[in-house]
Amino acid sequence: HTAEAVAVPDAIQALVQSAGTAHPGLATGAAVTGLVMTAGVGVLQKGLTPAGIANAFALGTLLYGAFGAGGFSLLCLYFLFGTAVTKVKLEQKQKEGIAEARSGRRGPGSVWGSGSAGAFCAVAALATGDYSLWQVTKVKLEQKQKEGIAEARSGRRGPGSVWGSGSAGAFCAVAALATGDYSLWQ
């Protein structure tokens, strides 16, 4: 018997090729995020509410679309670590009345509170096409300096870092005020 070649549809080939690039775009981001979330649905359901899962899909799509597997991997690790930390001594925290609501499952406010800086940088990078400007790392500074493309700020963080951890509270406060639904953003 001879093995017959299986034709892989062009769309799937394009998706696989795009997934390995540094800036694959939103369609690839949505596809990869959907696959990863489907594979990890059990973990997601333990750490997020249904609305939190839907919002995490949007955040994952943005980050993968703009920054590829590297940015998306950081998001996944952050979620796994945060979920694990929340569960530490949960019963004791519940008895003391200091535990997270919903047994530690996070909703949209937590997703965007933690991810708004990354989402802002992803949207800005996708909108401008300038991905290096919105990365908030010093890792490649020496390489950029050697190539003569380092910014005059010598490795100080880019505009994305302005939206650091303080943006989380600001985003939740503005969203709560805008919607009038304060419970959603807790």
Q: Would you say residue 66 has pLDDT above 70?
A: yes
- pLDDT band at residue 177 using 50, 70 and 90 as cut-offs: low
Mean pLDDT computed over 11-24:
88
Q: Is pTM beyond 0.85 here?
A: no
pLDDT, one tens digit per residue, over 154-175 is 444 444 443 444 444 444 454 5
User: For 69, phi and psi rounded to 5 degrees?
Assistant: -65, -30
Euclidean distance between CA atoms 61 and 43, whole angstroms = 18
Question: In terms of Cα–Cα distance, which of 160, 177, 153, 155 is closest to 63?
Answer: 160
Average pLDDT in the 41-54 region?
93
Q: Which residues pair with 48 in a beta bridge?
A: 106
Classify residue 136 by burial, with Cβ atoms within 10 Å: 0-12, 13-18, 19+.
Answer: middle
